[in-house]
Structure 1
C-alpha cells in the first residue's frame, strides 16, 4: 500500500518558533513529529511513502532520507505551503482504483494507522472519518475520500457535528456511498500553539501518550513514578537526586550543580551551565544556557526565550545568557576550485571594469551600481554589483565573497531575507541570481528548492539552460516594448 503524507504546514501558529523549525521537524521528546508518523506507518505495514513537502524539503530529507531507517521507500513531492490537498492529488498521477492512505505528518498522534487501515478496508465503499481524542485525526483513504479531501487541509477542523452534516449533504447530492465515523484509541496533539507544543512534550516525557515512548535509555530520578530518558554521549549530574523527569538528547552537557524540577526536556548538543534552575521547560537543540539562569515554564530555542502561556518571545543578544551552542565554522567549506575560478573571474572583472563602468553609466538612468547585503553566520556583509542587464557579468564584483570562502560559486541566493538555510547552501550564481525579471516570493522559494534538489551535475546544465531562456525572455520583452512604442 502507498501512503501520501502531508508535511507542508508553514507553522505560523507557532511563531517565532517556525523560524527555526517547520512543524514536521518539531522535536517532541527528541524525536521529530514526522518520525512518529513514519514509525506508525512502518508498524502498519505500509511500504511506499510519498512525502508532500514545502520548501523545507532539504531539512526533512536530511532527517528522513529514503526511509531506510523505518524500512520504507520514501519519495518527495514539492508543493506550496499549506496548498489544498485537492490541488495536489491530481498532480500525483495516482491510480484512481488504488487504495491510498492520506495523512497529515505534521501533527502528533498515538499509533493508530494500522487500526484505521483495517477498518477502512472493511468499509471500502464508505468515507471513513477518523476521530482521535475527540479530534480530527488527519487520516483518510482513497478512493472513497476523493470528494472530501478538504477535510485534510490545514488547519484541520474539529467541529465534527457541523462537518459531518456537510459531508452527508454532499453525499446525498452526489449519490455516492455513505460516511462512517471511526473512533480511534489514543491521544492527539495538533501542535497549533506553543502551549500545546509544550503540553505534547510533557505528556510524552510522562509516557502518557498511548503507544508512544520517548527516545533514549531510561534512568530513574527522585520522583518515584517517573525518570529521565537519556541520549548517547550525554553528561549530567546525579539524576537520581533530581525531583524531576523528562528527556535529555544526544551529546548534551548539564552541569552537576543544575537543579531540575518537574518536567525538563533538553535537546541535542545543548550546554547548561552551573547553578541553573530548570522547571517545566524545554531546551531545544543546539542551545546554550548561561550560568545561574532560572528557566521556568518556558521554551529556549538557541537565542530565543519563549513563554507559551503568554505567547511572549524575546531574542537575546547577550551570549552569556542564552545563545546558539555551536562550533565556529571555518571557510574551508568552499572548494578550492570554486575559489580559483572566482579569483580568475574577479581578475577578469578588474580588467574589464573601466568598460563596465562606462556601460553602466551610459545605460542606467539611476546609478551605475546596485548595493546589496547578505547575512552569513550572523554577520552582515555589504556588497555591490554593476547595474548591467547581463546578470552574470553584473555580479563579478561580488566574487570576493567566494574568494574569501563566504559563498559557494553556485547555489541558492543569500540575498533574500528570512532565509532558513546553512551558509554552505548559499552561492553567488543560482536560478534567482540569473533571473532578469521578478517573481512572487513563494515562486522564488519553489524555484530554489527544485534547483537544490536536482543532481549536482544537472544543476550547472540547468543554470546555463535557464540563462539562455531568461535572455530570450528579455529579448522578447524588449521587442514587445519597442513594438508598442
Structure 2
C-alpha cells in the first residue's frame, strides 16, 4: 500500500501567517504540521508516499527531502493550489482499484492512521468514513472510497454520506488549522500537554505550577524555570533572558530570542522571532515582525526591529548568481542595443496608442474609457532585488517580452538581479522565499500583467521542477514562439500550458 498526501492548501484562512508559512509547514509544538502526518504514516508501515504540493513547494521539499528521516520514500507531485482530489488522482495515473491511502497532510490530528487502516481491512468492500472529534478526519482508503473522494477536497466538509456503510469514530484530536484562533488553540493545547498521545519530546523541567511543566529543547538558554508561573514548550536554541516573566501557557519556537524585562502571557512565538526588551505581550502570536492579537484579531506589522523582528536574515543561495564573465558580455550586449532604443520606444508608443484607441472605441461613454488607465509606452514596475531592497524600474510596451525587458539587464550587470530567476515583481511576491530573483523567467516571459497569482505560482513551480539542462534555452524559444502565435502577447491559461510542455523536451 502507498499513501497519497494532499498538502496543497493556500492558507488564506490564516492571513497574515500565510505570508511566511503554507499550512503544511506551520509549526505546531515546534514541528511542521506535515511532520506529524509522516510520523503517523511511517508508524502504520507505509513506506511509499506521493506528496501533492503547490504553495511553497520548494520549501516543503527542502524540509522533507527524500523522507529518509521518517523511513519513507517521498515522490513529489505539483498541483494547482487546492486542486480537486479527483483531478489530481487522474493526473497521477494510478490504478484506483489498488489499495491507496488518501490523507490530508495540512491539518493536525492525533496518531490514528494505523487504527483506521486496520479497521478498514475488516470491511474491504465498504466505504469507511473516518471521523475524529465529530468532524471529517481527512483520510480515506481506495478503492472503496472512490465515489466519495470529494470529501477530501479543501475546505473539508462535514461527512454525512448516506451510502457510507461504516463510520469509524477515531479517538483523539483533529484540528483543521483553518483560523488564527484554531491554530493558537492547537499549539497551546499541545504545550499544556493536553494531547496524551503527543507528549512533547523535549526535556521536562518543573515550573512554579505544580500541575504543568516546561519542555525545553536542546541548547536553549533560560533562567530558573521553577520560579515561573507559566508553562509550555521552549524550542531549540531559544534564548530567553533570566529576567523575562512567563505567565500561563507559552510556546517559544526554535532560534527565538526574548530580551530582558519582557512579559509573555499566553503567547505563541514562532521560530526565528526576536522579542524586544521590556515588551509585554498577552494572548498573541508573534511571527517575525507580525504581532497578532488572537482575541481581537488585530494585526500589527512592526517596523522597529528593536521591538519585534526576525532573528534570521534570509540569504538567497548563490549557486545561480550571474557570473562576472556573463555580466561583462551583457554589458557589451546592452551597449550594442542602445542605437535600437529609439526604434523600440517608437514601437512601444504605437502599441500603447493603439490600445488606448481600441479601449475608447469599446467604451460606451468617455467616463467608461477612463475607468481603467491604459498602459503607456513604458510600463513602470516595483521590483525587489536579491538583497531585499525595493526599487522602481520599467519595461517597454512591446512584444516579445524578451525585448521589452532589455533595459532591465542593467540590474543584472550591477549585480542586483540574476539573468534568470524568479519574478522580482513585488505585487506577486509570496512568503519569504530564498529563490534567486532574475530578469528572465517563465513568469516574466510567458505571462502578461493580468495573469492571476495562482497561474504565476503554478508556472514557476513547473519550471522549477524541470531539471533539463536546456530549460533556459527552451524558455527563450517558448517566449518567441508565443509571440509569433499570439501577435500581442495577450494569451492566457491553456495557451501557455502548451508552451510549457517544450521545457520537458
CA distance in structure 2 between the partners assigned to 1:239 and 1:3 by the alignment: 42
Partner of 1:414: 424
Q: CA deviation at 1:324?
A: 1.7
CA distance in structure 1 between the partners assigned to 2:206 and 2:331 by the alignment: 62
Q: CA deviation at 1:371?
A: 2.0
Deviation string for 1:312-369 (max 9, x for gaps)? 111121222111222485x883766534313321332123212222332245224553
Match of 2:454 among 417, 442, 453: 442
Contact 1:24–1:33 under 8 Å retained in 2: yes
Of stretches 307-316 and 180-189 in structure 1, the one that deviates more from structure 2 is 307-316
Structure 1 runs of 4+ aligned residues shifted over 4 Å read 334-337, 475-478
Match of 2:389 among 376, 379, 385: 379
Match of 2:302 among 290, 312, 316: 316
Contact 1:305–1:315 under 8 Å retained in 2: yes
CA distance in structure 2 between the partners assigned to 1:453 and 1:341 by the alignment: 25
Deviation string for 1:112-148 (max 9, x for gaps)? 0000000111111111011112221111110001001
Contact 2:399–2:483 under 8 Å retained in 1: no
Contact 1:52–1:78 under 8 Å retained in 2: yes
Partner of 1:370: 379
Superposition pairs for residues 335-354 of structure 1, below 5 Å? 337-354=322-339
Superposition pairs for residues 179-328 of structure 1, below 5 Å? 179-327=165-313
| Distance change >3 Å, CA 334–CA 403, structure 1 → 2 | farther
Q: CA deviation at 1:35?
A: 0.4
Contact 1:338–1:408 under 8 Å retained in 2: no
CA distance in structure 2 between the partners assigned to 1:336 and 1:412 by the alignment: 12
Match of 1:470 among 473, 482, 504: 482
| Distance change >3 Å, CA 363–CA 206, structure 1 → 2 | closer
Partner of 2:464: 452
Structure 1: 5+ residue stretches without partners: 172-177, 479-485
**TM-score in terms of structure 1 length:** 0.89
Q: CA deviation at 1:414?
A: 1.2
CA distance in structure 2 between the partners assigned to 1:227 and 1:203 by the alignment: 13
Partner of 1:34: 34
Report SS of the residue matched to 1:412.
Answer: coil
Q: CA deviation at 1:423?
A: 4.8
Does residue 10 (structure 1) correspond to residue 10 (structure 2)? The answer is yes
Report SS of the residue matched to 1:229.
Answer: strand
Does residue 52 (structure 1) correspond to residue 52 (structure 2)? The answer is yes
Contact 1:370–1:384 under 8 Å retained in 2: yes
Superposition pairs for residues 155-194 of structure 1, below 5 Å? 155-158=155-158, 160=159, 163=160, 167-168=161-162, 171=163, 178-194=164-180
**TM-score in terms of structure 2 length:** 0.86
Report SS of the residue matched to 1:364.
Answer: helix
Partner of 1:425: 436
Of stretches 261-270 and 271-280 in structure 1, the one that deviates more from structure 2 is 261-270
Partner of 1:483: none
Partner of 1:357: 342
Partner of 2:19: 19
| Distance change >3 Å, CA 9–CA 476, structure 1 → 2 | closer
CA distance in structure 2 between the partners assigned to 1:231 and 1:3 by the alignment: 31
Q: CA deviation at 1:229?
A: 2.2
Q: CA deviation at 1:463?
A: 1.7
RMSD, aligned CA: 2.3
Partner of 2:367: none
Partner of 2:112: 112
Deviation string for 1:416-435 (max 9, x for gaps)? 43422535432211112222
Q: CA deviation at 1:310?
A: 2.1
Q: CA deviation at 1:465?
A: 4.0
CA distance in structure 2 between the partners assigned to 1:306 and 1:363 by the alignment: 46
Contact 1:334–1:402 under 8 Å retained in 2: no
CA distance in structure 2 between the partners assigned to 1:451 and 1:214 by the alignment: 39
Contact 1:357–1:368 under 8 Å retained in 2: no
Q: CA deviation at 1:264?
A: 0.9
Report SS of the residue matched to 1:298.
Answer: strand
Contact 2:96–2:146 under 8 Å retained in 1: no
Contact 2:19–2:432 under 8 Å retained in 1: no
CA distance in structure 1 between the partners assigned to 2:157 and 2:377 by the alignment: 54
Deviation string for 1:369-413 (max 9, x for gaps)? 332211345531112234442332332322232233332221221
| Distance change >3 Å, CA 457–CA 362, structure 1 → 2 | closer
| Distance change >3 Å, CA 199–CA 394, structure 1 → 2 | same
